[in-house]
Structure formats: structure tokens, C-alpha cells
Structure 1
């Protein structure tokens, strides 16, 4: 059997989209989970990263938090939280995914604030700007591309990882895949492939949308500077 071809046929059946528990319902659940997880991650990671970057301290804290959260297995956290008073459902999934959204948001916010040219900050302070004004008028506008990049990375990671929500009755596109496994590979193989294709396409769409947003919020001079930094060869000392 050509499971990939059969998966595309399954996706082209309108009933698989409109039936209760079909792709439309699961896609909506997936997007809701992703939205709230990324929002909570932003509420934690961005303020902390901006504050540490503005103070010029806490680089070790940022690295430690990022490494600790990445070291925790996703599936382990998803299975532990439902065993707490939180219970099963979407809430433990959202909280678990928010943990994995924090590292890129925190790291990019910190990097963005620390990447501001010290001479630019000295000039702003020389003009009489206070610490808060320096942050709002100089550092944050120049760090916007980094903040957008962190948001883009977090959103794509959460979209991909939210597929595991099905293991704790959290809904999402993963339900399509597990339902296919429940039917057996010979009967539900097309549904398994269709669910995987749907997740991949959604992740690529989110990547493309946030890449466009990142480009829009990055001023043209900063785009040139960032391209030069990326193109510059790294030499060992």
C-alpha cells in the first residue's frame, strides 16, 4: 500500500474535515493549545529576558533556565502534570508546552537587549534619558527583531510538540494519528499519514507567517546588519 497517497486521499475527503472530531475540530483545538501555551511563555520569558538584558546581568541564569527546560523530556512532563491536582485535559498540556516556549523567548529577549550598541546607549544617557526611557525608546525598538525571532521559534516548537497532547486527552491533531493507530496499520495507515501531513503543514505555515512578521518588524538597516553578522565567518582564537 502507498500510505502517502492514501493519506492525501484521506485529506481530500470533505467528511474527514467536517465530521465531529474531524480535522476542523482537531485543528481548532491544536491552535487554541498553541496560542495559550505561547502566550504564557511570552508572559514569563519576555519580561524576564528584557529585565536581565537591560541590567546587563543574568547571562548564566538565562543559560541555566534554557538548558533545564530543554533537558526535561516533553512526554514526561505531559504525563506527570495530569497526575497532579490539575488533572487531565487541555490545562496540563498548555502548562507543559508553556515550559518549552520559555527558553527561546527568554534567550532571544536577553540577546536582543544585550546586542544594542553600548555607544548608542551611552549617547542616549548623555542626552538625559533615564533607565526606563532608555529601555522603552532605545533598547526595545532595537531588540524587536530578536523578540520576533524568539516568538517565531517558540510558536513552531509548540505547534510541533502539541501533537503529543493526545496522550493525556488534550486534543489536537495528534488525536487523528492515535485514532489511526487504534484502527490498525492496515486500516488506519492512511489516517496516520494524513495526521502527520496536517501537523507538518501547520508547522510550516506558522513558520512562514512568523517569518513574514519578523521581516516586517525588522527595519531595513537592521536586516542588513544581521545578514552581515550571519555571513561573517567564525574564527577560533
Structure 2
């Protein structure tokens, strides 16, 4: 009966309309997630790429990222909303405690972005770097023409992971009376209207899947490695391939 009621809730167009409708709340959460991701990319990506190019600061970058992963996002949000700044002030289209929510989500998105970007540049093969030096490229030319194109797939992997994580975590905004689909979930379970709460969770899950597919398509589009039979057996030596978990310890050592 719960699943039937959930399906009935989702297929009733009246639940998608209005300021508190699913469609409006979906747009609010999407705006919140994309903005937080943009802030994280703008703040963390240039630093991580440059550190990777220099080959320095790896221990600091990886370990700061690991510390960031250990901090609960809701705990950070609770601290921000209880402080004088940013507090719970309404922040434009982001609603009540919008600035606090954006800061918490942006910090949550930083670890995968920083770690993947740093590892991606460091994993560019040494012989490729030497070939670029032999061609007389400057440091900037080597970074923009050689290192960055080869690093892009793994960089995009970090952004992709951050996007899905931030979207799913953005539901916590409802716990401080903020915008997003979390309001449907919390209100549904608070009022014992389980169909409503599960419906909100289903929408979050479906959109997360769509964002994953979209980001995966972009990641494949920026991959400079030609597609071929070898790709099915694994990446070639000219493409960064180690995962973040595999690379975190060696980079910092």
C-alpha cells in the first residue's frame, strides 16, 4: 500500500504545482547544488591543478581533503546557522539560511575535486612531460597543452562525484527551514504521510541518477584517449587511471 500511495502521490499533478510543489522544490535544490558545486570548483580546482603541476603540496592537499571528508555536513551547517554570520538570514533565491547551506555544501564538495585534480596532473606519464620539455614548451604551455588535456577525465570524475554527493546532501537544507526536496521528505515523515516522504526521496534518487549519467557523458566527451578495444581492457599508460583511494597514500608519502 505504501508503494501504491507513493506512486499515486507522484502521478498526481497537483503535487507538482505551486510554491511547495515538487517541481518548484526540485528547481530550488538544483540551483542550490549547482551553485555550491560552482563555488567549490572555482575555489579548489585551480589550486589543486597548480599544485599538481608543480609537484608540491601533495601531502597537504590530500590530507586536507581527507579531513574534509570526516566532517559531517549537517554538523557544519548547524554551526553556521547558530553563528552571527551567516546565520539563518534569507539569501536571495536560496531561501532561509541559504548562505550557510551554500558554504556547508561547497566545503563538502571540495575533497573529491581537490584530490582528483591533484592526482590527475601528477599521474601524467613522465615520458610525456619529458617530450614536452624536449619540444621547448614553457611551463604554462606544458600544463595547458599536455598535462591538463590528459588529466581532464580524472578531474571530471571528481567533479562528477562531487555533483551527485552535493545534490543528495542538499536535502539537509530542510532541517534549517531551507529550500529543496528535503522539505517534502521531512514534512511527509513528520506528519506520518509516508507516501509523501518516500515520493520526495524517489525524486531525489531519480535526479541523482540523471545527473550521474549527464556528468558521465561529459567526462567521456573530454577524454582525449581514442576509443578502441584497449579501452575495454583498461586504460593505456598515457592516461591517468589510479583512483583517489589508491593514489592518496603514495602521493602524500
User: TM-score scaled by structure 2?
Assistant: 0.85
One of 135, 151, 167 as aligned partner of 2:159: 151
Once the two structures are TM-superposed, the CA of residue 225 in structure 1 deviates from its matched residue by 5.7
Q: Give the corresponding residue for 2:126.
A: 118
In structure 2, the residue matched to 1:203 is 208
Residue 229 (structure 2) pairs with residue 228 (structure 1): no
C-alpha distance after superposition, 1:168-188 (max 9, x if no partner): 1221100001111232x2xx1
The separation in 2 between residues aligned to 1:219 and 1:63, in whole angstroms, is 26
Q: Residues 227 and 107 of structure 1: is their aligned pair in 2 closer, same or farther, counting only changes over 3 Å?
A: farther
Relative distance call for 1:154 and 1:73 in structure 2 (3 A) is: same
Unaligned runs of 5+ in 1: none
Q: 1:129 maps to what in 2?
A: 137
Q: How has the CA–CA distance of structure 1 residues 226 and 43 changed in structure 2, closer, same or farther, with 3 Å as cutoff?
A: farther
Q: Distance in 2 between matches of 1:14 and 1:228?
A: 46
| Partner residue in 1 for 2:30 | 31
Name the one with the larger helix percent.
1
Aligned counterparts of 1:124 and 1:100: Cα–Cα separation in 2: 36
Judged with a 3 Å threshold, the aligned counterparts in structure 2 of structure 1 residues 218 and 227 are, in CA distance, closer, same or farther, namely: farther
Is residue 2:186 matched to residue 1:178? yes
- Contact kept, 8 Å, 1:90 with 1:169, in 2: the verdict is no
Say which of 113, 116, 134 aligns to 1:108.
116
Unaligned 5+ runs, structure 2 = 89-96, 236-240, 247-253
Deviations 1:4-54 (A, max 9, x none): 221111010000001221111100110011011100110122111101100
State the aligned residue count: 228
Cross-structure match for 1:61: 60
Counterparts of 1:117 and 1:221, CA distance in 2 = 17
User: What TM-score, normalized by structure 1, do the two folds share?
Assistant: 0.91
| Cα-Cα RMSD | 1.9
Q: Show CA shifts across 1:59-79 (max 9, x none).
A: 211221111111111110111
